């Protein structure tokens, strides 16, 4: 059974599907229908979507098990309700660890940044995620100096809990939110 969209005042969080991943790998700009309120609505995907996540899309198809459905578990497309344009993604980076902690990642297209959309999406996504019986807390990492991303996590109730490192971003701040 398909996962129901998660609504916010300005957004829809739609499950990331195999069809979206496959189509985005073939085309930069496209539209696909999604069931919103009992009728199909065309969602528009521009070249800037999904941003930094695009290089991982082939791995989703080649290595990731879609769990017997056409949806990537825990991954959502962020869509503006008024325009039906995909403006970002939010989702888990795998399964929870033995302590029940799961890492999340998120991003918006450049045009969508600075309008509070990620905080709005997070206020719906986090309760959905923390309601899962296998999730006891959520972690995230931000590149040092990425004040915009830090503000999102602070606004969602995350606390700084450590430091990390990545080849791509260098020094990282680790954040945790316990349900």
Q: What is the Cα–Cα distance from 26 to 153, expressed in whole angstroms?
A: 33
Q: Is residue 76 part of a domain?
A: yes
Look at 52 and 10; give whichever has higher pLDDT.
10
Q: Is residue 119 part of a domain?
A: yes
Number of separate domains in the chain: 1
Residue among 84, 79, 65 at smallest CA distance from 12: 79
Task: Looking at the chain, list the stretches that DSSP marks H as alpha helix, in order from N- to C-terminal side.
Answer: 18-26, 57-62, 117-130, 147-155
Structure tokens at 102: 């799961």
Interval 24-80: pLDDT, tens: 999 999 999 998 878 899 999 999 999 999 999 998 887 656 556 788 889 999 999
Domain residues for the domain of 39 are: 6-135
Domain of 76: which CATH number? 3.40.630
- Grouping H, G, I as helix, E, B as strand and the rest as coil, residue 99 is coil
Peptide bond into 50 cis (omega under 30): yes
- Grouping H, G, I as helix, E, B as strand and the rest as coil, residue 73 is strand
Q: Is residue 178 part of a domain?
A: no
Q: How confident is the model at residue 123 (pLDDT cuts 50, 70, 90)?
A: very high
Q: What is the Cα–Cα distance from 93 to 103, expressed in whole angstroms?
A: 5
Q: Which helix (H) or strand (E) holds 76?
A: strand 71-80
């Amino acid at each position: 059974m398909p996962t129901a969209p998660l609504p916010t005042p300005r957004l829809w969080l739609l499950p990331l599907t195999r069809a979206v991943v496959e189509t985005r790998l073939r085309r930069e700009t496209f539209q696909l229908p999604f069931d919103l309120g009992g009728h199909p609505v065309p969602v528009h995907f521009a070249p800037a979507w999904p941003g930094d996540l695009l290089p991982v899309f082939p791995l989703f198809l080649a290595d990731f098990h879609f769990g017997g459905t056409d949806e990537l578990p825990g991954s959502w497309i962020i869509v503006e309700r008024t325009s039906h344009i995909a403006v970002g993604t939010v989702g888990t980076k795998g399964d929870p660890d033995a302590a029940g902690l799961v890492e999340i990642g998120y991003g918006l297209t450049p045009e969508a940044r600075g309008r509070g959309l990620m905080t709005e999406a997070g206020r719906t996504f986090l309760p959905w995620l923390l309601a899962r019986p296998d999730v006891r807390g959520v972690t995230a990492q931000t590149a040092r100096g990425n004040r915009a991303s830090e503000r999102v996590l602070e606004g969602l109730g995350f606390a700084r809990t450590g430091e990390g490192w990545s080849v791509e971003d260098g020094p990282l701040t680790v954040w945790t939110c316990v349900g």
